[in-house]
Structure 1
Amino acid sequence: MPASQDDLFAFLEDLGIETTTVNHPPLYTVEESQGLRSAIEGLHSKNLFLKDKKGALFLVVAQEEAVIDLKRLHERIGASGRVSFGSAELMQSLLGVLPGSVTPFGVLNDREAQIRVVLDRALAGADAVNFHPLVNTATTTIASKDLLAFLGATGHDPLLLDFSDASANPDL
């Protein structure tokens, strides 16, 4: 049984991590969620559940405005060939979430650490960042240092990449 929103909050509390959560109508896309920006401080993200041709799994967590070239992303994240989106079934079995609810908090359900988390440096360096708490009817704000602590506690130390640095990758 995948972790629930309550399980997530209990896990964060056990780690001594403080968060704030705002409930809202279901949001499925970055565009839909942009209407809440004035009510929720901090950076917001886009989250991509991906797999490569050998079946390796990646969760790319980037600042919402980042432009990600899926044709070249594999070169930056160490994937075997181009990446494609993981199926909804695989997402639900490993992250415990449905499409529209993808979040780094989902790695709480990936107990065998099968998924490689790729985190945008812009998010890692922000004061506060926002993600769905396993459901798309709420948004949880967490300090970026606490997000890193959460990821480490779940066995998912992230690969940090700068998705906004055009000189490092002119096609992204």
Structure 2
Amino acid sequence: MNKQETYEYLKNSNIDYEVVEHEKVFTIDEVDELNIPGKEKIAKNLFLRDDKKLNYYLVTLPAHKKVDLKSLRKEIGRRRLSFAQNKDVENILNVTAGSVTPIAVINDVENKVISVFDEELKNKVIGIHPMENSATVFISFEDLIKSIKDYQNRIIICKIK
């Protein structure tokens, strides 16, 4: 699914969203440099794996938060976590490393990925990439969760420290 197909999917699913096109960004620091409305709502995403490479975790949290992987592992009751390789991002989520987005789990045909969200995002509008890092889609957290559930992906909502 590419950016245009993401927009069509959201529209066909009757999900309200707003799009802001911008130059490509690869880090949350680059997002900070952009002069776009609503940038304080943009979430950051981390693609992690366990030490056996059996499970993958797409972690979404407010941009200002840091993640302690040891605390996260305990919070979600999993094995030791580390960052997944870029080839895993491309093979499993079908996006490039700079375009990781929680909605990319719909490309995970083997359901290897567990979506992990910081509870701070609940009841908010958040900004995510639409499969490409040249735009940001603002969508309600609840609609995002519904989209992920529609594809039978597993979800954990927890307090990320």
TM-score where L is the length of structure 2 = 0.91
Instruction: Tell me which residue corresponds to 2:3.
Output: 5
Aligned residues: 160
- Among residues 127, 130, 135, which one is paired with 1:130 in the alignment? 127
Separation of aligned partners in 1, 2:16 and 2:130:
13
Letter in 1 for 2:49: K
Moved more, 96-105 or 39-48: 39-48
Structure-to-structure mapping, 1:88-167, within 5 angstroms? 88-126=86-124, 128-163=125-160
Instruction: Check conservation: 1:121, 1:161, Cα contact below 8 A.
Output: yes
The structure where strand makes up a greater share of residues is: 2
The Cα of 1:87 is off from its aligned counterpart by 0.9
Segments of structure 1 that go 5 or more residues without pairing to the other structure are: 164-171
Instruction: Tell me which residue corresponds to 1:85.
Output: 83
The Cα of 1:38 is off from its aligned counterpart by 5.1
The Cα of 1:153 is off from its aligned counterpart by 1.0
CA RMSD of aligned residues (A): 1.6
Deviations 1:121-140 (A, max 9, x none): 111221x1100111111000
Instruction: Tell me which residue corresponds to 2:31.
Output: 33
Separation of aligned partners in 2, 1:60 and 1:143:
17
SS at 1:72 equivalent: helix
Moved more, 131-140 or 34-43: 34-43
Separation of aligned partners in 2, 1:122 and 1:139:
20
SS at 1:28 equivalent: coil
Deviations 1:65-88 (A, max 9, x none): 1121123321112222x2111111
The structure-2 alpha-carbon separation of the partners of 1:37 and 1:149, relative to structure 1 and needing over 3 Å to count, comes to farther
The structure where helix makes up a greater share of residues is: 2
TM-score where L is the length of structure 1 = 0.86
Percent identity between the two aligned chains = 29
Segments of structure 2 that go 5 or more residues without pairing to the other structure are: none
